[in-house]
Structure 1
């Protein structure tokens, strides 16, 4: 987990970039529009929206909720699962709305379309975050942290 602002920005950038890239590819595949150009052109605005939502809204709410849960806050794995779970729920809700609106504007039957989009996204976002992106991001962050610590001792 990040221990300072620099690490927080690095961690959020890693998480957002990987999640947005894979989830964008998945959603483009679902609607039959997956292509390198489409993916890359959609990645930049999607990443910006996801990063802002993560930093300003979802991340703060997820941390606040996780702090109030009856967990052993000394066990890092419990905090990671709690925060990740809250982040997944919040980001899927917001980014599903973003994707739905970007894809074709406000659908006639908004709620069925939105709930369907959430359903399609949550089944990929949960394992992607918990099994792949989260561990990779934490590993890279730990390597950066170790490198920074080694520089301090020299």
Structure 2
């Protein structure tokens, strides 16, 4: 877990970018419209929106909910899984709507299309976050934290 704002920014940005990248590729592939141009076109606005939602809406609410639940907060695994679950639920809820609007506006069967989109994105995002992006981002964060500790030890010597 990040221990300061710099680590939080690195961790959050990496996690956000990788999730937007992976989910963009997933959605383009399942809609048979993958191209590097389509990926690049959607990636920047998707990352900006996801970063804002993550840092100012969903992340705050997800952490409040997670810390209010009767879980063992001393257990890193329980805390990570709880926060991640609420983050995934919130981000999929907003980003599915964002993707639909970017793709073609509000469809005639909005509710049906949204629920289908939300369900398909939830499954993919949950697996992608818990199995790939989360562990990778925590690995990078650990590397950043270890390098910061090494730098501090060298400065003290």
Report the Cα distance in structure 2 between the residues aligned to 1:44 and 1:120, rounded to whole angstroms. 22
- Residue of structure 2 in register with 1:39 after alignment: 39
Report the Cα distance in structure 2 between the residues aligned to 1:123 and 1:63, rounded to whole angstroms. 21
Write out per-residue CA displacement over residues 26-85 of structure 1, whole angstroms, 9 at most, x where no aligned residue.
Answer: 111121110011101210000000000000000000000000111111111000000000
Deviation for aligned residue 1:102? 0.6
1:53 aligns with 2:42: no
Q: How many residues align?
A: 154
Report the Cα distance in structure 1 between the residues aligned to 2:139 and 2:32, rounded to whole angstroms. 34
Runs of 4+, deviation exceeding 3 Å:
none
Deviation for aligned residue 1:123? 1.1
Report the Cα distance in structure 1 between the residues aligned to 2:71 and 2:147, rounded to whole angstroms. 31
Report the Cα distance in structure 2 between the residues aligned to 1:27 and 1:69, rounded to whole angstroms. 33
For 1:64-79, list aligned pairs within 5 A.
Answer: 64-79=64-79
Unaligned segments of structure 2, at least 5 residues: none
TM-score by length of 1: 0.98
For 1:61-140, list aligned pairs within 5 A.
Answer: 61-140=61-140
Deviation for aligned residue 1:5? 0.5
Unaligned segments of structure 1, at least 5 residues: none
Report the Cα distance in structure 2 between the residues aligned to 1:148 and 1:95, rounded to whole angstroms. 34
